[in-house]
Amino acid sequence: MRQLNATASIVVFLFALAYSVFGEWTGPFFSVGLVVLPLLAVIFFRFDFVHTFRLKRPALGQTAGGLVLSSGLFLLVFLASVLISVFFPDLPVSGKNTGANALDKNILRVVLLIVVMPALCEEFLFRGFILSGFVRTLTKRKSIVLCALLFALLHLEPLQIPFAFVVGLALSWVALETDSLLVPVLMHAFHNLALLLIVRGMASRDLAFSAIVDFSKPSMMILAGFFGLGVILVSFLFIRLGISLVVRTPRCSPATEISVK
């Protein structure tokens, strides 16, 4: 059985990047193509399936830590998105996971296509195949940074890239700390779900981020400033608690690997 390496990770990423640029014809099932590529590579080159995709059951404490960490990061990313929208209202903000599809009346279909499938497929590609290839060739730190960078670049939206990079760092770090793909998948799905709920909630009230703060009222600006500082403080508390839970919780034994028939 062949050993996965960084070269294979880069090659699969380049195919994924080309698919992201030219794969709009796949419609709502776009995300499925992102998991097909690494699966084909594993089958064709006979890489170890279980270890490549980190199919292990994580400890409960590590799962909780990952979700707490994801909550803190989401608050920071959302706050930064609001600030950009407020101060630069003319900048275009778009993405495959938001927009008209998020407002579909069939909530089960929306959750499947916007929350579950992107989280599952993107994590199999990045925190599964690509990260596994990097850690067999590079140091842990370089693997985390490079995987996060490629994850950000795949989003193809200039305003999304820095946010995706930060989130990708956390997802890659958690994947290596827990040695399980399940925690990053849950973190990614939580992030998608939180964003979906906000988009649908604001759409139902016909609101925009730029309308959240009224610049004509200094008292509202001051209040918004204190609120923003509070969000930052809570975010860092969540991030610190999440990291602590992930690091201090012992990993499950190898016997708890998820069986693949």
Q: Sketch the domain layout of the chain as residue ranges.
A: 6-49+57-250
Q: What pLDDT, on a 0 to 100 scale, did the predictor assign at position 159?
A: 82
More confident of the two residues 53 and 105: 53
Residue with tokens 């989003």: 155
With cut-offs at 50, 70 and 90, classify the pLDDT of residue 208.
low
pLDDT at 205 over 70: no
- Which pLDDT band, with edges at 50, 70 and 90, does 96 fall under? very low
Judged against a pLDDT cut of 60, whether residue 176 lies above it is answered with: yes
What global pTM score does this model have?
A: 0.89
Tokens 């703060």 correspond to what residue? 213
Residue 129: closest CA among 14, 26, 260, 244 = 14
Residues 6+ apart with CB under 8 A from 72: 234, 235, 236, 237, 238, 239, 240, 241, 242
- Compute the average pLDDT of residues 183-189: 97
Q: What is the 3-state secondary structure (H, E, C) of 222-242?
A: HHHHHHHHHHHHHHHHHHHHH
Instruction: Assign 158 a pLDDT band (cuts: 50, 70, 90).
Output: confident
Rounded CA-CA distance 238/73 in Å is 8
Question: With pLDDT > 70 as the criterion, what percentage of the chain qualifies?
Answer: 84
Q: What is the pLDDT of residue 97?
A: 43
pLDDT at 167: 96
| Average pLDDT score over the chain | 86
Q: Does residue 149 have a pLDDT over 80?
A: yes
Q: Cα-atom radius of gyration of the chain, to the nearest Å? A: 19
Q: Return the axis-axis angle of helices 161-178 and 182-204, rounded to nearest 10°.
A: 150
The pair of structure tokens assigned to 198 is 């906000």
CA dist., res. 162 & res. 152, Å (int): 7
Angle between helices 60-87 and 218-248 (to 10 degrees): 160
